[in-house]
Amino acid sequence: PPRASSRRPQGDGRLRQIRIDNFLKRQPDTGGGLGVSSGSSRQVRITDMRGVVVVEDLYRYKEVLRAPERWSPGQLLDTLNKLAAKQPSRELLKLTKIGAHVKRLTNHPDAEVARAASAICDSWLAHFIEVQSRQQLDVACDAACTEQRRRTRQLLAAALSCSEDSPAAVGIERQLFFNYRSLVGHNYWQAARRLTAKLRSDASLRAAATAADADYKGLLAALTG
């Protein structure tokens, strides 16, 4: 008997093919001798993202920047351009100490090298200022977490002689919650109790906490540091 056809019927119900081009990044041919034609596509790698930094790369860049007299201005610029494409975290900058070498190059005798180093320093500084000034967003909590946070606001309100939904009680509790990585546990509760005890015993702290321009982040850093 004749074999049944395995072809799907044509019509509105047929499967639509997803174009892989939607997930590819177009780049011009660099002439690298890899046999890739002009206008070819390649998939974006995670290491291409600005915020994804390979620690070993930072150390390699540091080896170049720490001894600029051993390298030509062109080689220094190449390293700085690679570094400018990344945004290391503050922790990585402290770990590798590469920022000190970049800053030193802002006084390099070659104008282009000095300009590139200054641009990196300005970019990193602007990024950290922007991150620090971001408004902290509250997160949704389950019933137990919500109740624990409400009890903390009650303790703060009693210590500050204000209402539970006052800006001071809400702001201090929110900052405390954020400091403990949005986790309500033993450490969070113990910190809340110590904090309220200090507020009850110190009138100047209460005044600072209830001020119109109160800095809750700085206040908690001073009280819990």
Rounded Cα distance, 177 and 168, in Å:
14
End-of-domain residue from the set 132, 165, 189 = 132
Verify that 92 and 158 share a domain, yes or no: no
Q: Which is nearest to 152 in space by CA: 203, 127, 204, 187? A: 187
pLDDT at 133: 64
3-state SS, residue 79: helix
Distance CA 139, CA 61 (A): 39
Q: What is the pLDDT of residues 132-153, one digit of tens each?
A: 666 555 555 678 888 888 999 9
pLDDT tens profile 62-77: 989 988 998 999 999 9
Within a domain: 41: no
Inter-residue contact 117 to 102 (CB < 8 Å): yes
159-191 tens-digit pLDDT: 999 999 998 999 899 888 888 876 778 888 888
Say if residues 130 and 173 touch (Cβ distance below 8 Å). no
Domain assignment of residue 31, yes or no: no
pLDDT at 128: 81
Sign, CA dihedral 53-54-60-66, equals positive
| Mean pLDDT in residue range 112-132 | 88
What is the residue-averaged pLDDT of the chain? 78
Residue 35 gets which letter from DSSP? -
For residue 4, pLDDT over 60 is answered with: no
Quote the percentage of the chain above a pLDDT of 90: 29
Question: With contact defined as beta carbons under 8 Å apart, do 86 and 53 qualify?
Answer: yes
Distances (CA, A) of 152 to 1, 105, 158, 189: 79, 50, 10, 8
Is 10 a member of any domain?
A: no
* Domain boundary pick from 74, 99, 132: 132
Q: Domain total for the chain?
A: 2
Residue 174 — left, alpha, or beta (φ > 0 → left; ψ -120 to 50 → alpha)? alpha
- Find the domain containing 97 and state its range: 55-132
pLDDT of residue 153: 93
| 147 in the same domain as 83 | no
Q: How high is the pLDDT of residue 1?
A: 54
Q: Which pLDDT band holds residue 213 (cuts at 50, 70, 90)?
A: confident
Please indicate, yes or no, if residue 210 is contained in any of the structural domains.
yes
Q: Could you tell me if 90 and 115 lie in one domain?
A: yes
Mean pLDDT in residue range 1-13: 49
Question: Is 127 within 8 Å of 87 (Cβ atoms)?
Answer: yes
Instruction: Detail the DSSP E strand segments found in 80-176.
Output: none
Residue 46, domain member (yes or no)? no
Among 103, 132, 161, the domain-final residue is: 132
Shared domain for 152 and 89, answered yes or no, is no
- Give long-range contacts, CB 8 A cutoff, 24+ apart: 57-60: 57/82, 57/86, 58/83, 58/88, 58/92, 58/96, 58/98, 59/96
CA distances from 106 to 95, 98, 109, 157 (A): 21, 13, 9, 51
Return the pLDDT at 11.
47
